[in-house]
Amino acid sequence: MASLIGSYSLFFSLGFSVLILFFSFKNLKNTINFDNKLLSLTFLQLLFIILSFFGLIIAFINSDFSNSTVFNHSHTTKPLFYKISGTWGNHEGSLLLWLLVLTLFIFLFLISSKKQPKKYRVLTLLFQQIIIIGFLIFLIQTSNPFAQIYPVPSEGLGLNPILQDPALAIHPPILYLGYVGSSIIFSSVLAASSTNYISKEWAKHIKQWILISWIFLTLGILLGSIWAYYELGWGGFWFWDPVENVSLMPWLALTTLFHCVLVLEKKLLLTSWVVILSIATFTLSMSGTFLVRSGILNSVHTFANDPERGLYILIFLFTLIFLSLFVFFFFHKTDGQNNTSFFWLSKETSILINNWFMMYFLAVVLIGTIYPIFLDVLTSQKISVGPPFYHKLIIPFLIPFLLAMAIGPKLNWIKSNLQNKSHLLLLFAISLILSFLIIRILEISFLVNTILFTSAFYLFFITLRDFFIKGFKNLAQNIAHFGFSLLILSILFNNFLSSEVITNLKVGETYKSDELTINFEKIEKIKKQNFEAIIGKFNVKSDNELVDILKPELRIYNQPNIVTSEADIKTNLLSDKFMTMNLVQNQEYFNIRYQIKPFMIWIWFSVIIISFGGLFSFFKKKYEN
Amino acid sequence: MGCSAFSKKNMKTKILLPFTIVSFLFIFFILYVGLNRSNIYIPETVTNEKIPTFKVKVFNSEKELTSKEIFENDIYYLLNIWASWCIPCRDEHPYLMELKKNKKLEIVGLNYKDKVKNANNFLNELNNPYTLILSDTDGTIAIEWGAYGVPETFLIYNGKIIKKIIGPMNNNLFKEIERAVK
């Protein structure tokens, strides 16, 4: 019954799309004021998508196996929480979530943009409807979440156990709010270009939407990274996997876009940058969907392969790209901006420099992700691009990037000079000496690392100083940049100070080295709702005589029958102690991996600080208005 | 002024627009073709090409060997280029462990651009299928072999490359090697 309602709701929403298109055109031609009928229709469309989404959730809760999505991804013994999160843990359900966010955002856009020109609002709605229609047809045609199965199976196939995790249950909704949120920026920029409304007022208004997407995207990526850290059991937090890369690319574009919009708001410069980046952010999000769902890429966690779906998204994606190219080339006016040249030492120049760096990072990630496809098609060669590629190309360029991030905000708009800036030199000297000492103590390779540490510390100290000197002025920017320096420092320390022990132990045995002993005390079996857990108990004694008890787990899930390894992690402010255990085939030994990862929590914490910077900026503007 | 702005705009449209459209059409074409290709790696067969001559360090030691010394016996050799950071290498690892049981075959590993510590961890975690591991820290030996990346595998007999597998091994290729070695 719930499935049926959900299914019909989708068709009703499509009907509303047609109505909205019709009344939008009518409204564009005839009246002066925004037709409130459009607002009601958008609200009704949202309502039906919500209805459809809840229909699917209810089907999942009731384990209604006549629905093929539920059958494929759920099981009666699964805990309620994961039954619900299973709704968006699969291709069909997650697309429905896409649609929900698409319709929700356009509704919020319409009710919050009442002061904007009528033509611009109607056109934004129109462009957004094109996206919504595209996704609705895609959903109904190729991936209907309400497809029926007959005869009704008595039991479902179950949700992949590695997806049964609290972080991953909320990761997709948060990430999608960021991904799909950028659709509003896309629709809005096309509307603003067509009506020649790219202006300071527009910048001020769209900035809020950029911030919303950016905050959610940042948090979404963070959650994914945390999940990979403890669930995949490799002890890393970023693997340069295609799926991770496709979330990083829109983030880079969005971050750059935000900085450009700041310049646009203040100086009415960089309009072409803003237009192109707004288009790029959403197209990159869409390309991500294409790459992940079409099966064109091999990755650890892609959705099921289906070329038909891939083809649809590909055509749809390129339709949007060509539509935006058309708008950009034929409607976007650049006159009057090219003759403003930038003074070399100014805030806008530093933002422009950082733009180019961001574009470089984006290009590296993009090439690393899609180049294997190109090479394969053109020359039938298969390659895999691994972390060394990204590290080699990105790390050296972080140095000037960090320095520009430190000095840029100190400069004035239009033109500045470097008087009274002696503290800049002083802090640089301090950073240099500190880095030099750290490199000496850690005994790591010299030149690049010293400069890298120096530039990260430099940004750290400069932003830290500003908290005291400047107080509330530029606080949002300062928080975000401070968070970024903290992130780079944490990653650096984490990278250089991590240590690990890998050994095979059986119950009762003890591993001894100079620094620590690991005692495998016992093993327990516990039966849980939908899995059986084998829990090891280990006493780890480090040189300071402190004993940590770690209990890594092996879970044998009943449906589908998969063994997963759950790391046990002891976290404190300075370091994480991370242990995983795996079966060694046909033996009584277990493979034990014990890692000490310093400053792990600071990596997560600094990303939260970065997004807090965005949040602060968002509410500051609200307050000022 | 208005006129020059107009011509500027015109120039932009005239040159940039076709260029952009062609680039995007090209990308579309590549992705379209890529979509219809299977994801199964197709092996490239090279028959009777001689193995390159080179000198190489043995992994975890200071000893140096020449290519002649490594492949001197009258048996089949499998040279497998791998790295701990390479995720497809993990996928093909069970096949190598299976092939290790074959007495007529010796598996030689070439550790590509890797850290010794990480490589050791990889082997400890997944077990060691290799009878001998060579170390290629700067990637030059792999270039000698004409390798494109990791993983890559060469079946060698009598100083000649019989078969070359680009990308990770799969079930079909595994069976093919078993048949060839018989």
Distances (CA, A) of A35 to A20, A27, A114, A555: 11, 6, 11, 57
pLDDT of B4 above 60: no
Distances (CA, A) of B8 to A196, A270, A271, A341, B13: 18, 17, 16, 17, 9
pLDDT of A8 above 80: yes
* A2 close to A59: Cβ distance less than 8 angstroms: yes
Helix (H) / strand (E) containing A297: none
Tokens standing for residue B161: 């490359």
| Whether ipTM exceeds 0.85 | no
Tokens standing for residue A9: 């709701």
Tokens standing for residue A485: 């320096």
- Window from A248-262, A280-294, B166-180 with minimum mean pLDDT: B166-180
Give the number of domains in chain A: 2
pLDDT of residue A97: 94
The verdict on residue A620 lying in a domain is: no
Tokens standing for residue A24: 């939008």
Q: Measured between CB atoms, which of A307, A325, A382 is closest to B35?
A: A307
* A180 close to A101: Cβ distance less than 8 angstroms: yes
CA distance A548 to A97: 42
**Closest Cα to residue B31, out of A485, A315, A542, A238?**
A315
* A453 close to A577: Cβ distance less than 8 angstroms: no
Residue of B12, B27, B31, B150 for testing the chain A interface, max A β-carbons within 10 Å: B31
* A554 close to A563: Cβ distance less than 8 angstroms: yes
Most confident of A106-120, A219-233, A411-425: A106-120
Provide the residue range defining the domain that includes A136.
Answer: 1-164
Residue of A306, A384, A444, A589 for testing the chain B interface, max B β-carbons within 10 Å: A384
Q: Given an 8 Å threshold on Cβ–Cβ distance, is A383 in contact with B21?
A: no
Q: Given an 8 Å threshold on Cβ–Cβ distance, is A386 in contact with B150?
A: yes
Quote the minimal CA–CA distance from B53 to chain A in Å. 24
* Sequence-ordered list of residues with C-beta below 8 angstroms from that of B50, at least 6 positions apart, any chain: B159, B160, B161
Chain B residues within 8 angstroms (CB to CB) of chain A: 5, 8-9, 12-13, 16-17, 20-21, 24, 28, 30-37, 39, 41-42, 44, 83, 85-88, 113, 121, 124-125, 148-151, 166-167
β-pairing, A499-505 vs B76-82, is: unpaired
Q: Given an 8 Å threshold on Cβ–Cβ distance, is B150 in contact with A384?
A: yes
The verdict on residue A380 lying in a domain is: no
Q: Tell me if residue A255 falls in helix, strand or coil.
A: helix
Q: Measured between CB atoms, which of B9, B16, B41 is closest to A382?
A: B41
Going by the DSSP 8-state scheme, the letter that residue B127 receives in this structure is: -
The verdict on residue A357 lying in a domain is: no
pLDDT of residue A621: 63
Burial class (CB in 10 A: 0-12, 13-18, 19+), B30: middle
The CA dihedral of B150, B156, B161, B167, to the nearest 10 degrees, is -20
The verdict on residue A252 lying in a domain is: no
The verdict on residue A593 lying in a domain is: yes
Q: Measured between CB atoms, which of B30, B33, B113 is closest to A388?
A: B113
pLDDT in tens, A488-503: 999 999 988 888 887 8
* Sequence-ordered list of residues with C-beta below 8 angstroms from that of A164, at least 6 positions apart, any chain: A78, A82
Most confident of A602-606, B8-12, B133-137: A602-606
pLDDT of A144 above 80: yes
Buried-state track A305-328, b at ≥16 Cβ within 10 A, e below 16: beeebbbbbbebbbebbeebbebb
* A105 close to A187: Cβ distance less than 8 angstroms: no
CA distance A32 to A117: 10
Tokens standing for residue A52: 């459809």
pLDDT of A456 above 90: yes
- Residue B110's DSSP bridge partners are B81, B134
The verdict on residue A416 lying in a domain is: no
pLDDT in tens, A27-83: 888 777 888 889 999 999 999 999 999 999 999 999 888 888 888 888 888 888 888
**Closest Cα to residue A27, out of A40, A10, A15, A11?**
A40
Distances (CA, A) of A53 to A93, A270, A599, A600: 8, 40, 40, 37
pLDDT of residue B1: 32
What would the DSSP string read from start to end of A164-206?
Answer: -SHHHHHHHHHHHHHHHHHHHHHHHHHHHHHTT--SHHHHHHH
pLDDT of residue A15: 95
CA distance A317 to A308: 14
* B113 close to B82: Cβ distance less than 8 angstroms: no
pLDDT of B11 above 70: no
* A612 close to A479: Cβ distance less than 8 angstroms: yes
Mean pLDDT of chain B: 79
Which residue, of A164, A197, A219, is where some domain finishes?
Answer: A164
The verdict on residue A230 lying in a domain is: no
Tokens standing for residue A6: 């959900």
Quote the minimal CA–CA distance from A592 to chain B in Å. 9
β-pairing, A531-542 vs A516-527, is: antiparallel
Looking at residues B168-178, what average pLDDT do you find?
79
| Angle between helical axes of A271-293 and A200-231 (0-180°, round to 10) | 30
Which residue, of A130, A149, A164, is where some domain finishes?
Answer: A164
pLDDT of residue A303: 54
Which residues from chain B sit within 8 angstroms of residue A329, using beta carbons?
Answer: 12-13, 16-17, 20
- Residue A525's DSSP bridge partners are A534
For residue A307, is the peptide bond before it cis, meaning its omega torsion is within 30 degrees of 0? no
CA distance A324 to A186: 9
**Closest Cα to residue A316, out of B33, B28, B23?**
B28
How many residues appear in chain A?
625
pLDDT: which is higher, A113 or B68: A113
Q: What angle do CA A12, A17, A23 make, to 5 degrees?
A: 125
The verdict on residue A526 lying in a domain is: yes
* A245 close to A365: Cβ distance less than 8 angstroms: yes
Which residue, of A119, A137, A164, is where some domain finishes?
Answer: A164
pLDDT of B61 above 70: yes
